[in-house]
Amino acid sequence: MSKSMIVAKTDFKNALKLKMVKYGLVMATIFGPIMSFIIFLGVLPIVPPSEAQLLVGLMGPIITAMLGMFAIIPTTMIAANALVGEREMNTLEPLLCTPLTDRELLWGKTMAGAFPSLIILASSTAITTVGIAIGSVALGYPIIIFPDLAGFFLLATATPLMIFAVVAVMIIISGRVTRVYEAYQATTGIIMVFMIPMILPMIGLETGGMSELVWFSNFITLTIAALIFVIGWAIAFRLFNRDKLVSMV
């Protein structure tokens, strides 16, 4: 096993020992699908079967953005523990005394924060897709495939980018805060970017052209995520080196 993977696994296991993180991960995995079923399948019975697909267009952006938001939350929690937690617990110095290179350590910390979120993103999307398909058929409607193409685009591009961007932002923040909860609070604001694809398409409800607005808001979200990712990692790579880390010990 690579040393990065050893770091990642240990960081993840250590994060899971905290109730907030453990239950946070469970909630992040199930809350998205549950909310989706409530929103989607709750409304479906009052919609005629012929207009079921319309419902996908209407509710889709909300559910998609929600799945994205819930998937990013674990990264903020795990990365905060993996980066700021080491500092808070005084465990950074012995770790830096091991033969780990800066790159191995960085990759380990990144994997610890990002991989669980990517798994949660994939699994909660899969549960939602299967649940809505089964639910729609069970309610006597034609099978509904969710997410649609626009939703899948957002979940497959902006969300993973944002997950990795959160790790970069956490690296930047870790040099400035001393407590895990401060780091956690500081990065949760980034998740609000996913309010854009949730709310912006609603403008199209009155003016028409909601579909175009969905794609437009998805592109805006992707652009912001990409900007945070690029700028964040450019700064994080500069900051994540032995000298900077030692100064935090």
The reply to whether 34 sits near other proteins by the rule CB under 8 A is: no
| Contact by Cβ (8 Å): 169, 190 | yes
Alpha-carbon distance 201 to 148, whole Å?
A: 15
Tokens of 106: 């960085």
Q: How far is the CB of 99 from other proteins (least distance, A)?
A: 4
Residues in region 183-242 near other proteins by CB under 8 A: 242
Gyration radius from the chain CA atoms = 20
Stretch that binds other proteins, among 83-91, 143-151, 174-182, 210-218 (CB under 8 A): 83-91
The reply to whether 94 sits near other proteins by the rule CB under 8 A is: yes
The set of residues, in sequence order, having a beta carbon less than 8 Å from that of 35 and lying 6+ positions away, is 63, 66
Q: How far is the CB of 53 from other proteins (least distance, A)?
A: 50
Nearer to other proteins, 54 or 246 (CB): 246
Stretch that binds other proteins, among 41-49, 66-74, 84-92, 230-238 (CB under 8 A): 84-92
- Which among 193, 215, 194, 195 has a CA at the least distance from the CA of 204? 215
Q: How far is the CB of 89 from other proteins (least distance, A)?
A: 7
The total number of residues shown for the chain amounts to 249
The reply to whether 7 sits near other proteins by the rule CB under 8 A is: yes
Nearer to other proteins, 223 or 241 (CB): 241
The reply to whether 145 sits near other proteins by the rule CB under 8 A is: no
| Contact by Cβ (8 Å): 108, 11 | yes
What's the one-letter identity of residue 131?
Answer: G
The set of residues, in sequence order, having a beta carbon less than 8 Å from that of 220 and lying 6+ positions away, is 196, 197, 200
Mark residues 35-74: x for contact with other proteins by CB under 8 A, - for none: ----------------------------------------
State the DSSP H helix or E strand holding residue 28, giving kind and residue range, or none if neither: helix 19-43
The residue from 22, 26, 54, 98 that contacts other proteins (CB under 8 A) is 98
Burial of 238 (0-12, 13-18, 19+ CB in 10 A): exposed
The residue from 91, 176, 209, 227 that contacts other proteins (CB under 8 A) is 91
The reply to whether 99 sits near other proteins by the rule CB under 8 A is: yes
Residues in region 100-139 near other proteins by CB under 8 A: 100-101
Alpha-carbon distance 72 to 41, whole Å?
A: 25
| Contact by Cβ (8 Å): 11, 81 | yes
The reply to whether 19 sits near other proteins by the rule CB under 8 A is: no
Stretch that binds other proteins, among 19-27, 95-103, 149-157, 188-196 (CB under 8 A): 95-103
Q: Which residues bind other proteins (CB under 8 A)?
A: 1, 3, 6-7, 10, 14, 17-18, 89-91, 93-101, 242-243, 246, 249
